[in-house]
Amino acid sequence: MPPPSARDRILETAFRLFYARGFRAVGIDLIIAESGVAKATFYRHFPAKDDLALAYLERVDAIWSGQLHEAAAAAGPAAADRLVGLFDALATACRRDGYRGCAFINAAAESVPGTAVHERTVAHKAAVLAWVTDLATDAGAPDPRGLARSLTLLLDGGLASGALDADPDAAARAAASARVLVDAALAAGRG
């Protein structure tokens, strides 16, 4: 297996440092030193720090969205079960060593609205909301967007709680709450 490219080493280093310390706390010189690339090589791949931050967020998006989709699919074919099953990704995330919450919420807190980094965080959250809305529609919820919004707020709260209080039970409570929300929404649609 060939060694990772310079771009991959930079991105892996940024992935580790940005998540652990935040964008603002991590300077380009530290990333260059820890990735073992020359400054010119760094700037050839990432002309500005925001370019690296966006590449980091793209990678986080692919990983987190994949985990959400896998957890939902593992819950079975019923859309209502998938709406609750996606919370298994939360349980897995919160148990990881070095867990510091949602990378997108963290990035949004550190970025100025209207910047490319902030817009990328908003786009990620909108994509998750759209996907959950589709699941809620498939489940037959009378107000799929309302249910999806409630569930994504619960998911974001669980992500934050996992970082703030490190309560291993928080994800289970979020999943139980999701089940109540889904069941109530579907019952209202049948009533």
pLDDT in tens, 80-100: 999 999 999 998 888 888 888
pLDDT at 191 over 70: no
Instruction: Sketch the domain layout of the chain as residue ranges.
Output: 1-47, 49-190
Q: What does pTM read for this prediction?
A: 0.92
d(C-alpha 158, C-alpha 154), whole Å: 6
**Lowest mean pLDDT across 75-79, 162-166, 173-177, 178-182:** 162-166
Measured CA distances, 23 to 13, 16, 17, 53, 80 (Å): 12, 11, 8, 7, 37
Count how many residues are written for the chain.
191
Q: Helix 6-21 and helix 49-74: axis angle, to 10°? A: 80
Q: Which CATH number is 49-190 given? A: 1.10.357.10
Architecture per CATH, 1-47? Orthogonal Bundle (1.10)
Establish how many alpha carbons lie within 13 A of residue 2's alpha carbon, considering only the half-sphere containing its beta carbon: 5
* Furthest CA-CA distance within the chain: 65
Of 191 and 87, the one with more pLDDT? 87
Domains 1-47 and 49-190 share a fold: no
